[in-house]
A and B are shown apart, each in its own frame.
Chain A
Amino acid sequence: MKELSRKVEAIKPSGIRKFFDLVSEMKDVISLGVGEPDFDTPWHIRDEGIYALERGKTFYTSNLGLKPLRQEISNYIKRTQGIKYCADNEIIVTVGGSEAIDIGIRAIVNEGDEVIIPQPSYVSYEPCTILANANPVIINLKSENEFRLTPQELEAAITNKTKILILPFPNNPTGAIMTRENLEEISKIIKKYDLYVMSDEIYSELTYKGNHVSIASIEGMRERTILINGFSKSYAMTGWRLGYACAPVAIIRQMTKIHQFTIMCAPTTSQYAAVNALKNGDDDVKMMKTSYNQRRRFLLNAFKEMNIECFEPFGAFYVFPSIKQFGLTSEEFATRLLKEERVAAVPGTAFGISGEGHLRISYAYSLENLKTAMERFRNFIEKLRK
């Protein structure tokens, strides 16, 4: 047989995979490893999906997505960020935020362009960049900065080939957020070097210290930003596979071509359900956020009691404690924690080498579940400390 794509073969499979194989052989594992909400999609949203099916809404939608959905997205961004995107040509509905990341990068880069990716961060920016024939340039965010991106770090990473900055906040896996001041500082650099920004704001509804600020709301940034968001995290709709991108018409036009030839349109049922989510889902979001915040406090307190260093994350549903004091790598620690105490957590290195010395602990679990997990965690570190 002839060889397969060298470029694809060179891409490393997700670091999570190995762990997954290990876990699947074990029984009675308590997982803290998921990146999705534990809530079911609120019933009124599911009901709307069912209703769409009943009415026979089973055809393709337009490439950009249902007009009423784009209108609701436009209203939502206006209401939360004060930014106006035209529902006719500045919004595209995608198959999850993931698709928007892929087609956004592909629409902007040329061969050899550089894409700046702050890490630790979600696993797909780097492979998507490589698949688009561009070169990833990694910024290793620092725990002493609470994993925020500083203007110094950004400027040091910029070359004359830099095209896009990926801005993944609120951050998976660290839970870090960027405040308006932080964003204003880096915006100066972005404008100075005339970069595009891909702002992945999928966790925008889950912040626990003031509301999320989009970089597109900073002066002079809207014109160079692709704002990515979706329904998975805020409305507990991961399996519906629905996200969107907002950007100036010139960018959306190019993204639409890729979307049209590879995807055609996002799932129709999901789009109808999502209209209802944006119209009537505010209370659900509030309820889930309150619950996440309670668990966040619980975990932070548990780590504090165990004398494990953990900066306070104000976004998403992860804490990112440091396990450096135990002298094990993240992977060793996570593997032993799994084998010896049957608790699954993701090693920080799955999200980039700067995640070394950390674990990603998800709090998308019930309090009882977290409590049991923390008891087991305590047993484990007491063994290590002996």
Chain B
Amino acid sequence: MREELLSVIEKNSRIALKDLAVILGEKEIDVANEIAALEKEGIICGYQTLIDWDKTSIEKVTGLIEVRVTPQRGRGFDSIAERIYNYPEVKTVYLISGGFDLLVILEEKSLREIANFVSDKLAPLDDILSTATHFILKKYKDNGTVLTTKKDDEREIITP
């Protein structure tokens, strides 16, 4: 049940427990227990809402920063990553293979705030060798969901 359960709620975390049990063909209590276990094991880490902020009047700017760092003896990249992810404005931190080390995604109200973050907070950190900042211009697809267009059902209403 675990894999199928996860793939359903990954797409729709708001589905009612009753419906979830029905579509998985399981008992409600078993599904509830499984979800509790998944939360406890840290496999389910949270329930969020995917928002297309561009459709609101609220200004948000997303910056994507490539960071090259010197790994620390014994602790590798973990402690520098921690210093970065502790900033609340940092949404995502990944360790990446290839031309740079850490990918940092940042959400702010303006370009200036992102620039300030990089110059005041990120770049001065001791172990950081260099940063390259990219601004997101348009989000087409986020977390598996296409944001740009909503497609209508184009099928004929009745077919044999």
Contacts and interface: CB of A to CB of B under 8 A. Distances in A.
Interface stretch (A19-27, A55-63, A156-164, A222-230): A19-27
A123 B158 contact: no
Interface residues of B, number: 16
Given A295-B23, A298-B22, A33 B158 contact: yes
Interface in A282-314: 290, 294-295, 297-298, 301
Given A34-B155, A36-B155, A298-B19, A350 B160 contact: yes
Nearest to A294: B23
A23 B157 contact: yes
Contact of B160 (A16, A24, A298): A16
Contacts of A381: none
B146 to A, nearest CB: 11
A14 to B, nearest CB: 6
A297 B25 contact: yes
Most buried by A among B8, B15, B153, B156: B156
Contacts of A36: 155, 159
B155 to A, nearest CB: 5
Nearest to B18: A301
B37 interface: no
A29 B157 CA distance: 9
Most buried by A among B156, B158, B159: B158
Interface in B118-160: 153, 155-160
B160 A122 contact: yes
Contacts of A38: 153, 155
Nearest to B155: A34
A346 interface: yes
Contacts of A298: 19, 22-23
By size class, the interface of chain A is 20 to 34
Interface string A349-375: 010000000000000000100010000
Contacts of A123: 160
A268 interface: no
Nearest to A368: B12
A346 B156 CA distance: 13
Interface string B21-34: 01111000000000
Interface in A52-88: none
A20 B23 contact: no
A213 interface: no
B43 to A, nearest CB: 19
B17 to A, nearest CB: 14
A24 B157 contact: yes
Interface string A336-349: 00000000101000
B160 A35 contact: yes
Contact of A33 (B19, B25, B159): B159
Contacts of B22: 297-298, 301
Contacts of A295: 23
Contacts of B8: 294
Contact of A346 (B4, B23, B25, B158): B158
B23 A34 contact: no
A34 B155 CA distance: 8
A38 B155 CA distance: 8
B81 to A, nearest CB: 33
Per CB-CB distance, the 4 closest pairs between chain A and chain B, nearest first, are A294-B23, A33-B158, A31-B157, A301-B22
Given A23-B157, A29-B157, A290-B4, 6 more contacts: A16-B159, A23-B158, A36-B159, A290-B7, A294-B24, A297-B23
16 contacts: A16-B158, A19-B158, A20-B157, A23-B157, A23-B158, A24-B157, A31-B158, A33-B157, A33-B158, A33-B159, A34-B157, A35-B160, A298-B19, A301-B22, A346-B158, A350-B160
